[in-house]
Amino acid sequence: GRRILANRRAKGRKRLSA
């Protein structure tokens, strides 16, 4: 889901590394 990616990116960009 792209929505989850966008959500996580906005919430914690440091956590997401993809």
pLDDT in tens, 2-13: 777 666 666 666
pLDDT band per the 50, 70, 90 thresholds, residue 16: low
Token pair in block for residue 4: 């989850």
End-to-end CA distance of the chain: 14
- How many residues make up the chain in this entry? 18
pLDDT of residue 3: 73
CA dihedral 18, 14, 5, 11 (to 10 degrees): 180
For residues 5 and 17, give the distance between their C-alpha atoms in angstroms, rounded to a whole number: 11
